[in-house]
Amino acid sequence: MSKSILVTGGAGFIGSHMVRMLDQRGFDVVVYDNLERGNADAVTAGKLVEGDLHDSERLDAVFREHDIQAVMHFAALAYVGESVHEPALYYRNNVSGTQSLLDSMRLNKVNKLVFSSTCATYGEPAILPITEDTPQNPINPYGQSKLMVEQILKDYAQAYGLRSIALRYFNAAGCADDGSIGERHDPETHLLPLILFEALRVQAGGDPAETNLMVFGSDFDTRDGTCIRDYIHVNDLCSAHIAAFERMQKTPDSGAEQFNLGVNRGYTVLEVIDACRQVTGVDFRYNTVARRAGDPPELVADASLAMSRLDWTPVHADIKDSIQHAWQWFSAHPPTA
Ligand code: UDP
């Protein structure tokens, strides 16, 4: 039996791209997903096991039945706004669900984990760009839940020798370049898909003046008054996970590490809109509205540590690649509502 990678949340946006890349690179993959928010048809390779992180019996069975050499742990809830209104859901899924996974890994002697963390653990950083040493002060339960897991991973490294790498994602964007899989969130709250939905609406003959696109705030202390984010192509996130796995193989005793994943470059909301107009060729409009609660003005990574330690380079540093791939996907799979 060849050794497999277990991908939790492999039916979700980033997880499904991870499964595809692992398969392309010759890994055997087992996906574990409760399909509450993921889509079974996004799993294009490997074996899909439907199960919840809290179902220890099912998790144990997966570890017993497959020769798992490492876990890539994506399964989590990831809506900032929802986390504020339903913190219980977030701590239960993201923290206690992860603990259930870790305990099953211990029982079954699986000792390597790549964890999906987030720049939301930094809150509103005082100094930019953000390095791994920037103080972590999350401002919502989502970011807090991810930070708590990072702490658990450090403690498990100390006590049980768990080898882990937490990857703090900045803004994931784009999708597979062949249009095979893409982004499907319900509800969709992310900037890039919402811009492209508006471009699709106008392209289909909708009145540009009746725009659905809202820019949240124009009075931030940034170059054009709108928020700045570091957008990283989902395939660059995924290649960093493989690099993290290889690093854990080479340095099994290095405990818990953390790396930022971004492209070291920020775009304002208006710059993203402009890039989308150029890529799509559609002249859509937007309305400027009030700030969205909890949006930090600027989040830009210093990802140089990941680049050097993981020997990893994002190949889609230009946001237009992400837009082009997402446009291809959404054009073929327009929103239904
Ligand atoms: N944003 C916006 N309109 C939208 C959705 C998002 O202006 O309909 C802004 C949001 O305020 C933030 C940026 O776009 O500054 C990226 O938001 P997104 O939700 O995509 O990611 P986040 O940075 O919140 O994780």
Q: What is the DSSP track for 2-31?
A: --EEEEETTTSHHHHHHHHHHHHTT-EEEE
Distance 26 CA to ligand 1 centre (A): 36
Within 6 Å (CB) of ligand 1, which residues are found? Answer: 171, 189-191, 194, 214-216, 227, 229, 269, 292, 295
Which of 112, 294, 314 shows the shortest CA–CA distance to 216?
294
Longest dimension (CA), the chain: 61
Residue 90 annotated as catalytic:
no
- What are the angstrom distances between the C-alpha of 36 and each of 96, 116, 262? 17, 18, 28
Answer whether 130's CB lies under 8 Å from 271's CB.
Answer: no
pLDDT reported for residue 337: 60
Check residue 292 and report its DSSP letter: P
Distance 183 CA to ligand 1 centre (A): 16
Q: Kindly give the number of the ligand 1 atom that is closest to the alpha carbon of 292.
A: 11
Q: Kindly give the number of the ligand 1 atom that is closest to the alpha carbon of 269.
A: 14
Distance 190 CA to ligand 1 centre (A): 6
Q: What angle (nearest 5°) sits at the alpha carbon of residue 220, between those of residues 216 and 225?
A: 80
Q: Kindly give the number of the ligand 1 atom that is closest to the alpha carbon of 213.
A: 8
At 95, give phi and psi (nearest 5°). -95, -60
Answer whether 120's CB lies under 8 Å from 108's CB.
Answer: no
Residue whose CA lies nearest to ligand 1 atom number 19: 190
Pocket residue to mutate for ligand 1, from 80, 122, 229, most atoms within 8 A of Cβ: 229
Check residue 291 and report its DSSP letter: P
Residue whose CA lies nearest to ligand 1 atom number 4: 191
135: which 2 tokens?
């103080």
Which of 64, 77, 62, 76 shows the shortest CA–CA distance to 6?
62
Residue whose CA lies nearest to ligand 1 atom number 12: 227
At 61, give phi and psi (nearest 5°). -65, -40
Residues in the chain, total: 337
Answer whether 28's CB lies under 8 Å from 5's CB.
Answer: yes
Residue 133 and residue 292: Cα distance in Å, rounded?
27
Pocket residue to mutate for ligand 1, from 218, 269, 286, most atoms within 8 A of Cβ: 269
Q: What angle (nearest 5°) sits at the alpha carbon of residue 104, between those of residues 103 and 109?
A: 95
Residue whose CA lies nearest to ligand 1 atom number 16: 191
Residue 305 and residue 302: Cα distance in Å, rounded?
8
> If you search the block for the tokens 């964007």, which residue do you land on?
173
Burial class (CB in 10 A: 0-12, 13-18, 19+), 279: buried
Distance 151 CA to ligand 1 centre (A): 27
Residue 271 and residue 268: Cα distance in Å, rounded?
5
Q: What angle (nearest 5°) sits at the alpha carbon of residue 120, between those of residues 114 and 126?
A: 125
The tens-digit pLDDT sequence of the chain (337 residues) is: 468 999 999 999 999 999 999 999 999 999 999 999 999 999 999 999 999 999 999 999 999 999 999 999 999 999 998 999 999 999 999 999 999 999 999 999 999 999 999 999 999 999 999 999 999 999 999 999 999 999 999 999 999 999 999 999 999 999 999 989 999 888 999 999 999 999 999 999 999 999 999 999 999 999 999 999 999 999 999 999 999 999 999 999 999 999 999 999 999 999 999 999 999 999 999 999 999 988 899 999 999 999 999 999 999 989 999 999 999 999 999 998 6
Residue whose CA lies nearest to ligand 1 atom number 1: 191
Q: Which residue is catalytic, options 32, 79, 122, 142? A: 142
Distance 192 CA to ligand 1 centre (A): 8
Residue 299 and residue 296: Cα distance in Å, rounded?
7
Specify the amino acid at residue 193.
P
Which of 142, 36, 137 shows the shortest CA–CA distance to 84?
142
> If you search the block for the tokens 């820019």, which residue do you land on?
215
Answer whether 229's CB lies under 8 Å from 275's CB.
Answer: no
